[in-house]
């Protein structure tokens, strides 16, 4: 019977010139300490009170988000299963709606206009890394979602994207470039497929 070879050990350091990105060089704390303190308070207290609230306690969740620095319009709607990473970098307009399981991964600012709808499972990602540098520094390009926008279920909105007013984003679309106003976009990567038909006059 042949002996089983010993497992190959993983080298402690990558071979010289073999790997470009160096994870051991990434910044351990890219934010000021006060941001980490605020995040701890939000995760331990704010998010617990947020997620344990009644499904239609919209006023309570607006109040709670404001206490942690969010700008919330009087009639904005956020469900308890929504996850907002940094409330102090979040702004939401009047009569806009964040559906169940929406994630606002706002390492940078995220702004949503009025009368916008983000359907269930939408992921808004305002954070990335500069892959052209070996230490992968954190980037926090802002995201702006205009007024009258509908983003359908499980779409992904990437860093630095602006979605123009009255546009529609199809389900599970991956939006990595700006979408002009009044358009319908879908696909991976998302592209404009047609203008949005708006039959009724604006009020």
Which residues are marked as active site?
129
Residues 186, 193: contact at Cβ < 8 Å? yes
d(CA 52, CA 161): 32
Sign of torsion over alpha carbons 121, 122, 125, 126 = negative
Which of 92-119 are b and which e, b meaning 16 or more Cβ less than 10 Å from the residue's Cβ? Answer: bbebbbbbebbbbbbbbbbbbbbbbbbb
d(CA 31, CA 149): 31
Three-class DSSP labels, 67-130? HCCCEECCCCEECCCCEECCHHHEEECCCCEECCCCEEECCCCEEECCCCEECCCCEEECCEEC
Q: Say how many C-beta atoms besides its own lie within 10 A of residue 5's C-beta.
A: 6
Residues 119, 99: contact at Cβ < 8 Å? yes
């Amino acid at each position: 019977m042949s002996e089983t070879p010993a497992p190959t050990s993983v080298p402690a350091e990558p071979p010289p010139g073999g790997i470009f990105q160096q994870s051991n060089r990434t910044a351990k704390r890219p934010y000021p300490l006060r941001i980490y303190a605020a995040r701890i308070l939000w995760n331990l207290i704010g998010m617990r009170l947020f997620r344990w609230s009644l499904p239609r306690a919209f006023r309570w969740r607006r109040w709670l988000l404001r206490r942690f620095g969010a700008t919330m319009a009087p009639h904005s709607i956020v469900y308890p299963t929504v996850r907002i990473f940094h409330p102090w970098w979040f702004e939401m307009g009047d009569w806009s709606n964040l559906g169940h399981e929406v994630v606002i991964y706002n390492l940078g600012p995220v702004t949503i206009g009025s009368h916008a709808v983000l359907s269930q499972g939408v992921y808004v990602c305002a954070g990335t890394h500069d892959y052209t540098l070996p230490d992968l520094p954190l980037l926090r390009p802002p995201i702006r979602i205009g007024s009258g926008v509908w983003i359908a279920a499980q779409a992904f909105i990437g860093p630095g994207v602006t979605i123009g007013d009255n546009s529609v984003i199809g389900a599970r679309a991956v939006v990595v470039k700006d979408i002009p106003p009044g358009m319908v976009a879908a696909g991976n990567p998302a592209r404009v497929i047609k203008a949005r038909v708006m039959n009724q006059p604006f009020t």
